[in-house]
Structure 1
Amino acid sequence: MSEHLMCMLVFTMWACCRVTSGVCPEGHYGFNCSYTCHCTSGCDSVTGCSGGCMKDWSGPKCTIENVALNKTAYQSGYHPYVVRHSSYAVDGNTDQGTFGSLCVVTPSLEPYTWWEVDLGRPYYIDQLAVHFRTDYVAPRNDVHVFSSLKMNQTNTSHLCGVTTLNSSDVTYITCDDTAQYITLFQGTNNDDVDVYHYKPRTRMDICEVEVLICTAGTFGDNCTDFCHCQGQSCNFVTGECVGGCKHNWTGTQCNECDSDHYGSLCIASCSNRHCDQTNSISRCDNTNGQCDNGCEAGWTGTSCLQKCPVGRYGHGCNQLCSEKHCLGETSCNHVTGKCDHGCDRGYISSDCTKACNFAYGFNCNMSCSSRKCYGSLECDQFYGRCREGCLDGFELPDCTTGTTCRAGTFGSGCKLRCSERHCDGDSTMCDAQSGTC
């Protein structure tokens, strides 16, 4: 493998690790690090910008883009005494200069005048801002703002809004339209409203026009709300997603974690916790991960990540290992209650709560019927003791088959000695049951 390919592989692995660990590469943030920071400083991997915004961008999180900046602009004509190119109104400079020297001025002697900007491609435009000259207000009266998919439509396209003499120096107008062209149109003679008697007529003084859109994946008044639509942007006003949500997200605006995820970016999985799954759904709170319906058996805590304390098990950790019959009183499994080292003598079943039935010993592996008891067949579950002793030739305590008397003994319970029989030869050997030499 070449050194170049090796470097590319290492970089890719590094980037993937940063994304999956919740730390985005520099300049990116949000779910899957899919958002770009447009601030000069202070971009958090989760919440985005908190510092100043780059040129073209604005808003609390620098998610509002001015798509009119430095785009092609033109107008119906120029004032003979104030010739400023149409592009002055989209140069990003809101400083008006002395007596509006940095503003665009249209003619005053025409029946109507207009100014237009070509955004380069269609955008959904929720809002735009028009910066008027502050020291001379008459030309701002009755300016009609239009949007269109075609150029030079003047006053025949979609009307976004109309300004008045009392409109703000920076007037925000809602368009709610998809358009490529924004046109400001003046067809009113404003001589009557001019207190300075400059005879503005159909003149417009335009210092800056900003066409403001939310960056993809954001919506709302300040573009501070996030949507996570699958394959397309959401409605910039309502946030509605029409094509479904990206994985981990749900809701009309795809800004809520689905039932199996939680956290600020919905990347933490509820399935990694031990929430109660009675309804076959591992639900947890989509903000903090707390289990909505409590924990599965064997787990505790608000997030169900802690095992039951030693000596307890089951739902709510309410059951005690000490109530079982574990070998040597050892601990039991925190979920099922199964004894960690098996059952004590005389008990069986997975949780060591069932006593031996006509059996005895460890794991009830000795059969009561295999004993050679004398009289009563009552069977002790622990050692299988015969209450009235053993048949001749078998020893206590359980008188089992194959447990014949030790050498030199015979009779019931092997209590008699062969040496007392005075046998010829080796007097220590005799029949284990009858004592016959």
Structure 2
Amino acid sequence: MAVWASGVLLLVIVTVVAGDCPEGRYGYNCSYQCHCPHDYCNATSGCQPASCSRGWSGPTCQKENVALNKVTSSSSIYYLPSNAVNGDTSGDDETRCFHSAFEDSNITSAWWRVDLGNTTLIHDVIIYFRTNYKVRRNGIQIYIAGTAASPTDGVNCYNVTGNRDGTDIPDVLTATCSGEGRYLVLFTTTVNNDFGGVKVPIMDFCEVEVDSCTPGSLGADCDNYCYREGVCDYVTGVCPGRVCPPQWDVLVSVCDVSSYGTKCSKLCSDRHCKGDKSGCDPLTGQCTGGCRAGWDGADCTKKCGNSYGEGWDYMLSRSTSVMLADMVQTVSSSAQRDTAREISLPVTT
């Protein structure tokens, strides 16, 4: 499994111990729970096929809709805000969707909020819009918040933009909205109406999924794995403190022998290594035999500047460099230029 971490592609090799697990468990030390019928739960690889239980999705059923049946609130109510977290994704009947009020001409904004119950690492948000009326899709702002003090107190992680009539916005919109918080808020000040002379912002949508990877899983579909007990970063897969427990290895091994560094963007041949440089460390590009004279750094790509010798061993101060230049000029202009002179270079330590 390959993941990006701190700009470097890491290959996480997981040693899965197959064997007998309790019913509904699988993977290393039986650490993972199957979120599908037990008949489809393989003790090694999990759900086979992905017949996920209600509220779960992804190839291995490890992506959870943490908003399902949670407590909701809204700026006003025409149809219940709880309609948007009941699991009904059909969009052709507005009475089964959330709909804010619109009779009050003093309305300047509309919002909808779901309380996830506790601080949650949010992976993405999916909005199921009404399919029989599209004009209110444009202008929705999505926020992740730690408190319910104000609908816009959190981090604005996504904005829905498109034509005023909403025709270029899909019926099912997946928003990359990664962050950590207890509340997810949809907010708008946009007036998108084409009937009855209504001039206030209105919100209507049928379902909002807030997806989160289970502890120990990561990736776009939460179908890759990391160390379960030490709950890894759900985006990068990095373990706390970057320390792997026994039987788990992190290997930087994606770059081939000719490249290294962030996205393998640096060439080993551009280094100034002493000796053979046909290969190099795929993370740092370190020259195992040291650097040629005048170059320094782990990958020997940094010029030493006012220095000489191998590996920047001998540093010249700026004043020493100026003095040396003056001495050379004096020697060059002297009438005694045919006289051999030996200039000793002062060394600073």
Tell me if TM exceeds 0.5.
Answer: yes
1:74 Cα deviation after fit: 0.7
Residues 138 and 200 in structure 1, CA contact (< 8 A), matched pair in contact too: no
TM-score under structure 1 length normalisation: 0.49
Distance 1:245 1:33 in 2: 18
Say whether residues 1:136 and 2:96 are aligned partners.
no
Q: Cα distance 1:145–1:212, how it changes in 2: closer, same or farther (>3 A)?
A: same
Q: Cα distance 1:236–1:21, how it changes in 2: closer, same or farther (>3 A)?
A: closer
RMSD over aligned Cα, in angstroms? 2.1
Residues 125 and 209 in structure 2, CA contact (< 8 A), matched pair in contact too: yes
Deviations 1:262-292 (A, max 9, x none): xxxxxxxxxxxxxxxxxxxxxxxxxxxxxxx
Q: Which has the higher contact order (CA 8 A, sep 6+)?
A: 2
Instruction: State the match for 2:274 in structure 1.
Output: none
Distance 1:21 1:46 in 2: 5
Say whether residues 1:177 and 2:171 are aligned partners.
no
Instruction: State the match for 1:280 in structure 2.
Output: none
Q: Cα distance 1:252–1:103, how it changes in 2: closer, same or farther (>3 A)?
A: farther
| Higher Cα Rg, which structure | 1
Deviations 1:349-390 (A, max 9, x none): xxxxxxxxxxxxxxxxxxxxxxxxxxxxxxxxxxxxxxxxxx
Instruction: State the match for 1:353 in structure 2.
Output: none
Q: Cα distance 1:20–1:213, how it changes in 2: closer, same or farther (>3 A)?
A: closer
Say whether residues 1:46 and 2:44 are aligned partners.
yes
Q: Cα distance 1:200–1:162, how it changes in 2: closer, same or farther (>3 A)?
A: farther
Instruction: State the match for 2:221 in structure 1.
Output: 222
1:203 Cα deviation after fit: 0.6
Counterpart code for 2:43:
S
Alignment partner of 1:113 out of 110, 113, 116: 110
1:184 Cα deviation after fit: 0.6
Aligned length: 226
1:21 Cα deviation after fit: 6.8
Q: Cα distance 1:200–1:216, how it changes in 2: closer, same or farther (>3 A)?
A: farther
Deviations 1:307-337 (A, max 9, x none): xxxxxxxxxxxxxxxxxxxxxxxxxxxxxxx
Question: Residues 88-127 of structure 1: matches in 2 within 5 Å?
Answer: 88-98=83-93, 100-108=94-102, 109=105, 110-127=107-124
Alignment partner of 1:234 out of 232, 235, 260: 232
Residues 24 and 33 in structure 1, CA contact (< 8 A), matched pair in contact too: yes
Residues 42 and 49 in structure 1, CA contact (< 8 A), matched pair in contact too: yes
Deviations 1:75-126 (A, max 9, x none): 11113xxxx221111111112353x220010123411011100000001112
Residues 127 and 174 in structure 1, CA contact (< 8 A), matched pair in contact too: yes
Counterpart code for 1:236:
Y
Counterpart code for 1:232:
G
Residues 91 and 128 in structure 2, CA contact (< 8 A), matched pair in contact too: no
1:197 Cα deviation after fit: 6.5
Q: Cα distance 1:75–1:249, how it changes in 2: closer, same or farther (>3 A)?
A: same
Counterpart code for 2:88:
N
1:245 Cα deviation after fit: 2.2
Distance 2:197 2:220 in 1: 38
Residues 240 and 252 in structure 1, CA contact (< 8 A), matched pair in contact too: no
Distance 1:220 1:200 in 2: 42
Residues 131 and 170 in structure 1, CA contact (< 8 A), matched pair in contact too: yes
Distance 1:252 1:215 in 2: 24
Question: Residues 35-434 of structure 1: matches in 2 within 5 Å?
Answer: 35-40=32-37, 41-51=39-49, 52-79=51-78, 84-98=79-93, 100-108=94-102, 109=105, 110-164=107-161, 165=166, 166-191=168-193, 194=194, 199=198, 201-228=200-227, 231-243=229-241, 244-251=243-250
Distance 2:197 2:222 in 1: 41
Instruction: State the match for 1:5 in structure 2.
Output: none
Distance 1:199 1:160 in 2: 29
Identity percentage over the alignment? 37
Q: Cα distance 1:43–1:139, how it changes in 2: closer, same or farther (>3 A)?
A: same
Distance 2:97 2:213 in 1: 26
Q: Cα distance 1:34–1:55, how it changes in 2: closer, same or farther (>3 A)?
A: same
TM-score under structure 2 length normalisation: 0.61
Counterpart code for 2:98:
V
Distance 1:177 1:46 in 2: 30
Counterpart code for 1:247:
P
Counterpart code for 1:74:
S
1:130 Cα deviation after fit: 1.0
Residues 128 and 210 in structure 1, CA contact (< 8 A), matched pair in contact too: yes
1:252 Cα deviation after fit: 6.8
Distance 1:123 1:20 in 2: 30
Distance 2:36 2:67 in 1: 19
Q: Runs of 5+ in structure 1 lacking a partner?
A: 1-18, 254-437
1:38 Cα deviation after fit: 0.3
